[in-house]
Structure 1
Amino acid sequence: MSFSRSSEPEEDSAVLPLPTRLAFVGNYLPRQCGIATFTTDLCTAIADRYGSARLFAIPVNDPDSTYDYPERVRLELTQEDKSSYERGAEFLNFNGNDLVCLQHEYGIFGGPAGSHVLALLRKLKMPLVTTLHTVLSDPDANQRAVLEEIAHLSDRLIVMSEHASTLLREVYGVPSGKIDLIPHGVPDFPFTDPNYFKDLFGTQGKPVLLTFGLLSPNKGIENVICALPRILEEHEDVVYIVSGATHPHIRRFEGEKYREGLQALAEELGVSSHVIFNNRFVSSEELIEHVGSADIYITPYRQEAQVVSGTLAIALGAGKAIISTPYWYAKELLADGRGVIVPFNDPDSIAEATIKLLDNDAERHAMRKRAYLHSRGTTWQKTAQAYMASFQRARIERMLRPRPALQDLFVPKATDRLPKLSTAHLSKMTDDTGILQHAIFSLPNCNEGYTTDDNARALIVATMLKDSLPSGSSDEHATLSHRYLAFLWLAFHDKTGRFRNFLSYGREWQEEVGSEDSHGRALWALGTVLGNSEDAGLRGAAGRLFEASASVTLTFTSPRAWAFSILGMQAYLDWFPGDRVIQDSRNVLANRLLTAYEHTQSESWQWFEKSLSYSNARLSQALLIAGWRSKNARMIEAGFESLRWLVAEQHRGHDVVFVPIGSRGFAVAGGIKARFDQQPVEACATIAACVLAYQITHEQQWLEEAWCAFRWFLGENDLQVPLYDAVTGGCKDGLHPDRVNENQGAESTLSFLMALLEMQNIEITNVENLNQETSVSI
């Protein structure tokens, strides 16, 4: 376990940009507690350093309490209401956060040992980084169970001391590689003379001892009061300031019993005139004055089992001479002469250490300087940088080693059968112009307009639907087919002989000439109509547009545009096999694909280009179909060789789980293969190529590979989450490292429908073949 406190995440990370959508779960000011102060300071520091546009907090309200939170607080949890934690997870998931940072302390969450927070964590889709403010050496059964599950669910754990890190490893079995040590942040105090602030408290010219923070009986303040008579014998003008309100939990059940007891003790010992009780919660602005006025800061805590103390860290950051009892955090922080350690519950030792420091100005100032210099690496600015580095590490690790949310592991998945075909979402995404490009969840996003790419895909699907829709749906199918073909006619530009691609919702073209790929897809759709449709009017319109747009494909340089064009030409040739011009064009483009493959492929890289990007399997599919139909053995061989290699590249290790090439970086020969984002279009292309390979060879392995890719849609994937939405009939836009992209856009939905139709057709063919074999044997 190692972590540089000043680590700055690389802004130009080759894998991921820095996270911008961060949610912090923990208490928040104005609630009066140490976690609230810490969370507020951390959020402020990260917002100051990296921007605050999408940074928000989710605090927990204790029973019967409400707080006037600032704008940064977006959602409030109710401590004892478990359902509010579940709703919190839902809120975080649909807001698309990059990461959640939990501030964990057992006492602030409801349930046994704060177990209610697990209801939130189990449902989170995104990476989780947890800061542990308490790590117990001897936890009870509930405390152990809660912390062990939090450790399991968290991508990274942050602790603020070496001792806490040791406990995590030795008591809870957390691997060291999962732990980041980031010291408690402190304000960037100036190194000032205490006399500068003393007049604010009426203590000018007097030595000041200080303890600050929320009061509770475990703070041991009575031991300092008991030490005062001995201290006053040597330094008669010493003043002891106890600054801070009583902890709200103590006040709720005991009132001001502890403070009143301290006051009574001071009266009894005759030192009440030397003790100032500042009975209020000190703001961040006032903190500089309170801590700044102290000559000596004292933390007389009564128990050793404390792995962090915000007040001690702040005192060190202010460059104070410090006396402390030997709780875990103090022994670590005050090592190497940065403070004085005295025994627990020992007023005489406190008195002796105080007198010694007040008697020796040189030693006291040297201790102050050592403390101040040590703390320079723990200012909130440095802490914000270290936290962002931990966040980035969590996200990159999640990308490299994805895992499903806990709840998704137990969601039933029907991955062994084809789902029922539904065109509901396809119809919803289509208006009187064509199919819209994008969706917001399942709602069509009109602002993004239309593309020729998607309307070409939609025309292919609508044409394939003719044998799959139930009786009575033919009118709807015909309407969709005519609408998508009409869009392609609208997209075609007579003067250029090319299709435009992007059309705004207001029906304004965004360019004069679209991409080669969009032209190839349009030709593929037109060929599909001509090869499969029985609608004479549709065929006539498609034929004329096919004729006008086919020849220009010979000028294209994109291998994918060649592949799409080949698929369209072959579909056309399946109906018009004698068209020599289209035969020649298909052969020219197929030979270009073959030449590209032979020029680039090697033993370790059997592909057409030096990179894998999008719609990869369409290249193998095009070469296979062209070789099969033209009886070109070398094309068939290269098609199978490349497809076998691609399929192997798209498996998760030795598992039969489909992992398409990720769109966030793709893959380059000799380089890193991107795992995310995983797109439905890749699964669709792989299924089509494997189905074709099965039709050519009748080898069962290709059908198995097609099923492997299809099950990716149904939830057999890295996150164990279905992308197909059986309720809407749509398909979600892909897999991120931590969650599904919930938008159900045109490309994704059409990719799923094309894949489903391919699988249905192969099942129908197998059933027919089986029936034929049975009748022959009879």
Structure 2
Amino acid sequence: MNKQLKVLFIGTYVPKECGIATFTSDLLNSVSGENNDVHCEVIALSDPSETYNYPEEVVFQIQKEKLEDYYLAADYINQSDADIVCLQHEFGLYGGNAGDYIFALLSGINKPVITTMHTVIREPELEYRVSTEKLIRYSEKLVVMSQTAVDMLKDVYKAPEDKIEIIFHGVPDYPFNNCSKYKKMLNLKGSPLVLTFGLLSKNKGIESVLEALPDVVNQYPDLIYLVLGATHPMVKKTQGEAYRQYLKNKVSELGLENNVVFHDKFVEKEELCNYILASDIYVSPYLSREQIVSGALTYAMGMGKAIVSTPYWYAQEMLSDNRGLLIDFGDTDGFKKSLSYLIENPEECDNMRKKAYDFGRKMTWKNVGKKYNTVFGKALMNYNTYPGIQNRFYFLPIQLPEVKLDHLKLLTDDVGIIQHTNLGVPARRYGYSTDDIGRALVALTKLIDNPQKVEEFRKIITTYMSFLEHAQTDTGHFHNFMSYQREFLDEKGSEDTLGRAIYGLGHVISCSYLSRNIRTLAHTLVSKSGPEMENLDSPRAKAYAMCGLYEILRAGIDIDEFESVFNSCRDVVKPIDTLVDRDYFESIFISHADSLVDLYEANHKEDWNWFEPTVTYSNAKLSESLLLAYNYTKNRTYREIGLATLDFLTEIQWNCDFFDTVGNQGWYSYNGEKPLFDQQPIEAGYLTQAYISAYEIVREEKYLELAKYSFEYFLGRNRLRTVMYDYSTGAVCDGLNSDGMNCNQGAEPVICFLMALSSLNEHTNKAFSTILQSRVSDGISDEALEKRKSLLSVKAE
């Protein structure tokens, strides 16, 4: 390779006392030591209770049960210069159901993944089958350590054969020698010295060996059986030392106190190797057949030990051709006979040792490192052969989805919109809200682009207007929440509620396709709200109100066209002396714009271009309102701050792959950490609207591109790679949580989706109108015109 290969390992890592941690460390050293052109780093798995002084190659840590860490690790990998990821996989290593948290990481990275599978299950329960099949899909190559594992991957999981590579578990490279040197070094006795080592747990089957020993030690009283290793940390956490104490009790019962020694400690690799080299016989009495690899057995073979083992899958394959003795699980008599045979037949024992040692030369870490580097090279070649492989959004539609109001209509009854659902079914106990009604009027009026649409939307818009008329208080404010029993639950809603009502009413007033009666009623409600609008403090309430007032101002509406209707029905509308004029609306509009400027000047810093010390909710609406203020007044301060804050929202949320919007688990404060969840679709909808407004005002192409990407958030371009939009009904899921998508489909997400979609459609229609106007002068045919129109549709890249 012409440049240094950079490999990022994922797994547990030393100094954690764990077999896979040791394996990962040895593999890293073998890969980098075999070739100076390879640079290795590690993402280490830890538990919350653990604190380790990791070596410098550990560049990132994941807390096993913290899903958010897996997403953050994916971001780290994508931003790193790593060429390839080498994942160590065992189900218990990762959090979630059958270790499925790891897929939050694997689904989000754009690097080839080589997975070393330390466990393969022949008869998996459903969750383990699903997890294994997903692992196969996400991996460029699968490394297993035995032919048995290869056969299971192909037969049970239908893994493609060209994805699978056999690379044996590595072993240190020691010369073949006798044991006396190392016994003396460690001050060990035993003739013979029988060894079992590894983290202690019930599946080790050590009691089977103990029960076999009395008859053997009667004949060979100098025999020592050394059980080396600490209790497995997870076993110790849940069961304490119950298994070790059980074994010690059995030793006492059998009268073996002088022949059995427990070394209760986790030994580092060099010391472990010395113990193995000092032993005469290694015993591997596992109780489970489904053991696809054993580092302990591999080490014993590589150092030329005589081996007695139960016939778990790995042992059956490794000890074939007389490289060891196999006896049945729990066969006490078999252990007794096998140990006696090896002691009584030293020549046969020595031949067995040599065969194991010779086979072990294939498994030295030097050879393992070479083979992994070869697999890395093949994986990179295959991965780079397909330029589109990193595009995870190929499934996005070529054109915008069609407008579907099925779900909105499902939520709408003769009162208003039911706020929430239970898995898509309207949940009546939550009642209705003015917040939803105001925004729904924005979405619907923006969708009315010709007179034919009016009849389609007339009933639903009339229902929503009826709700707002009923919700307005005597002071001009609005109640927000109404129960399903049609009782208002508050004296008045929040300031945001008032702003959202004005937002919707402004769009009704400016929609020339609607009847004059409906528009007059809307003007009446807004006029009555004037004093309340003047006294708003909430920045978002001001922004909402400005967006509604902008619609009235830009349309150049003269109250003369409404006064005749208003005067004719003054006796039936809520008391109001007169409709307010344009100048009054304009004064409120500019006053609010100026106050947002003041807020920005008070809070922004060199690296924090925002109105407040914290980025919270409905954020893009603040930026958009100032852009609209610029478009109306041409005050460049509004433009500069509107663009600066919108660009800031882009900077903190767009990662060049998808929008990672600020979650509401604590919000995002200056010098704080941005929460990843719970992400609300309203943020993506408002971003889309703001980007479209920015593009139409300043004509910078980047805003049109960003509008595409923010809208695609609904369609799967998000952190969870999950489609939130239901193409069949028009429903939208409520949000993205740390444990997956919130499958409820309430009013707010579908309304915000429709607002975003209507903004994009409106932009496309404007662009098409421009083409249409130049049709005659350009001589464009009908066929060419349709092609040009289709090109204006928002597409996935």
Give the Cα separation in 1 of the matches to 2:395 and 2:342. 62
Which residue does 1:354 correspond to in 2?
Answer: 339
**Structure 1 regions of 5+ residues with no counterpart?**
1-10, 12-16, 417-442, 444-471, 473-723, 731-759
| Percentage of matched positions with identical amino acids | 38
Which residue does 1:768 correspond to in 2?
Answer: 774
Which residue does 1:45 correspond to in 2?
Answer: 30
Which residue does 1:229 correspond to in 2?
Answer: 214
| Kept after mapping to 2: 8 A contact 1:191/1:318 | yes
Give the Cα separation in 2 of the matches to 1:247 and 1:213. 9
Q: Deviations over 1:264-311 (max 9, x none)?
A: 111110012111111111101102211001100000000100110000
Q: Deviations over 1:350-385 (max 9, x none)?
A: 110011011111111111111111111111011011
Which residue does 2:294 correspond to in 1?
Answer: 309
| Kept after mapping to 2: 8 A contact 1:209/1:298 | yes
**SS in structure 2 of the partner of residue 76 of structure 1:** strand
Which residue does 2:184 correspond to in 1?
Answer: 199
User: Does residue 285 in structure 1 map to residue 270 in structure 2?
Assistant: yes
Which residue does 1:31 correspond to in 2?
Answer: 16
Which residue does 2:312 correspond to in 1?
Answer: 327
Give the Cα separation in 2 of the matches to 1:123 and 1:161. 30
| Kept after mapping to 2: 8 A contact 1:195/1:204 | no
User: Does residue 249 in structure 1 map to residue 255 in structure 2?
Assistant: no
Give the Cα separation in 1 of the matches to 2:85 and 2:7. 6
| Kept after mapping to 2: 8 A contact 1:39/1:103 | yes
**SS in structure 2 of the partner of residue 272 of structure 1:** coil
Which residue does 1:389 correspond to in 2?
Answer: 374
**SS in structure 2 of the partner of residue 37 of structure 1:** helix
1:393 and 1:18, CA in 2 relative to 1: closer, same or farther beyond 3 A?
farther
User: Does residue 67 in structure 1 map to residue 52 in structure 2?
Assistant: yes
Q: What letter corresponds to residue 268 of structure 2 in structure 1?
A: S
Give the Cα separation in 1 of the matches to 2:260 and 2:37. 42
Runs of 4+ more than 6 Å apart: 411-416, 727-730, 760-767
Report deviation, 1:203: 3.3
Give the Cα separation in 1 of the matches to 2:216 and 2:176. 26
Give the Cα separation in 2 of the matches to 1:387 and 1:145. 27
- Report the count of equivalent residues: 436
Which residue does 1:368 correspond to in 2?
Answer: 353
Give the Cα separation in 1 of the matches to 2:233 and 2:226. 20
1:774 and 1:98, CA in 2 relative to 1: closer, same or farther beyond 3 A?
closer
- Aligned Cα RMSD in Å? 3.4
1:231 and 1:763, CA in 2 relative to 1: closer, same or farther beyond 3 A?
farther
**SS in structure 2 of the partner of residue 80 of structure 1:** coil
Give the Cα separation in 1 of the matches to 2:358 and 2:12. 30
Q: Deviations over 1:725-758 (max 9, x none)?
A: 659999xxxxxxxxxxxxxxxxxxxxxxxxxxxx
Q: What letter corresponds to residue 221 of structure 2 in structure 1?
A: E
Give the Cα separation in 1 of the matches to 2:271 and 2:769. 75
Q: What letter corresponds to residue 259 of structure 2 in structure 1?
A: H
Which among 103, 106, 116 is matched to residue 118 of structure 1? Answer: 103
User: Does residue 215 in structure 1 map to residue 200 in structure 2?
Assistant: yes
Give the Cα separation in 2 of the matches to 1:360 and 1:368. 12
1:775 and 1:175, CA in 2 relative to 1: closer, same or farther beyond 3 A?
closer
**SS in structure 2 of the partner of residue 86 of structure 1:** helix
Report deviation, 1:21: 1.4
Give the Cα separation in 2 of the matches to 1:774 and 1:182. 64
Report deviation, 1:197: 1.0
Q: Deviations over 1:499-533 (max 9, x none)?
A: xxxxxxxxxxxxxxxxxxxxxxxxxxxxxxxxxxx
**SS in structure 2 of the partner of residue 75 of structure 1:** strand
Give the Cα separation in 1 of the matches to 2:329 and 2:702. 62
Give the Cα separation in 1 of the matches to 2:113 and 2:265. 35
Which among 299, 315, 321 is matched to residue 284 of structure 2? Answer: 299
Report deviation, 1:403: 4.8
Report deviation, 1:33: 1.2
- Does 403-412 or 290-299 show the bigger shift? 403-412
Q: What letter corresponds to residue 264 of structure 1 in structure 2?
A: N
Give the Cα separation in 2 of the matches to 1:185 and 1:75. 25
Report deviation, 1:328: 0.1
| Kept after mapping to 2: 8 A contact 1:195/1:205 | no
Which among 105, 109, 115 is matched to residue 130 of structure 1? Answer: 115
**SS in structure 2 of the partner of residue 170 of structure 1:** helix
Give the Cα separation in 2 of the matches to 1:205 and 1:158. 39
Which residue does 1:446 correspond to in 2?
Answer: none
1:203 and 1:54, CA in 2 relative to 1: closer, same or farther beyond 3 A?
closer
| Kept after mapping to 2: 8 A contact 1:189/1:288 | no
| Kept after mapping to 1: 8 A contact 2:229/2:265 | yes
Give the Cα separation in 1 of the matches to 2:702 and 2:21. 40
Report deviation, 1:54: 3.7
Give the Cα separation in 2 of the matches to 1:193 and 1:83. 52
Give the Cα separation in 2 of the matches to 1:409 and 1:729. 17
TM-score (norm 2): 0.51
Give the Cα separation in 2 of the matches to 1:225 and 1:140. 33
Which residue does 2:172 correspond to in 1?
Answer: 187
Which residue does 1:176 correspond to in 2?
Answer: 161
Report deviation, 1:123: 0.5
Give the Cα separation in 1 of the matches to 2:384 and 2:217. 62
1:296 and 1:725, CA in 2 relative to 1: closer, same or farther beyond 3 A?
farther
Which residue does 1:89 correspond to in 2?
Answer: 74
Which residue does 1:343 correspond to in 2?
Answer: 328
Give the Cα separation in 2 of the matches to 1:18 and 1:397. 18
Give the Cα separation in 2 of the matches to 1:324 and 1:292. 18
Give the Cα separation in 2 of the matches to 1:79 and 1:186. 28
Which residue does 1:539 correspond to in 2?
Answer: none
Give the Cα separation in 1 of the matches to 2:780 and 2:44. 68
Which residue does 1:479 correspond to in 2?
Answer: none
Which residue does 1:148 correspond to in 2?
Answer: 133
**SS in structure 1 of the partner of residue 173 of structure 2:** coil
Q: Deviations over 1:576-630 (max 9, x none)?
A: xxxxxxxxxxxxxxxxxxxxxxxxxxxxxxxxxxxxxxxxxxxxxxxxxxxxxxx
1:342 and 1:408, CA in 2 relative to 1: closer, same or farther beyond 3 A?
same
Give the Cα separation in 1 of the matches to 2:166 and 2:781. 73
Give the Cα separation in 2 of the matches to 1:224 and 1:110. 35
| Kept after mapping to 2: 8 A contact 1:105/1:133 | yes
Q: What letter corresponds to residue 203 of structure 2 in structure 1?
A: N
**SS in structure 2 of the partner of residue 186 of structure 1:** coil
User: Does residue 274 in structure 1 map to residue 280 in structure 2?
Assistant: no
Which residue does 1:239 correspond to in 2?
Answer: 224
1:294 and 1:725, CA in 2 relative to 1: closer, same or farther beyond 3 A?
farther
Give the Cα separation in 1 of the matches to 2:178 and 2:138. 47
Give the Cα separation in 2 of the matches to 1:411 and 1:280. 55
Which residue does 1:649 correspond to in 2?
Answer: none
**SS in structure 2 of the partner of residue 77 of structure 1:** strand
Report deviation, 1:150: 0.9
| Kept after mapping to 1: 8 A contact 2:190/2:224 | no
Which residue does 2:363 correspond to in 1?
Answer: 378
Which residue does 2:688 correspond to in 1?
Answer: none
| Kept after mapping to 1: 8 A contact 2:190/2:223 | no
Which residue does 1:449 correspond to in 2?
Answer: none
1:507-546 → structure 2 map (5 Å cutoff): none
1:251 and 1:350, CA in 2 relative to 1: closer, same or farther beyond 3 A?
same
Give the Cα separation in 1 of the matches to 2:240 and 2:226. 21
Report deviation, 1:108: 1.1
Report deviation, 1:50: 2.3
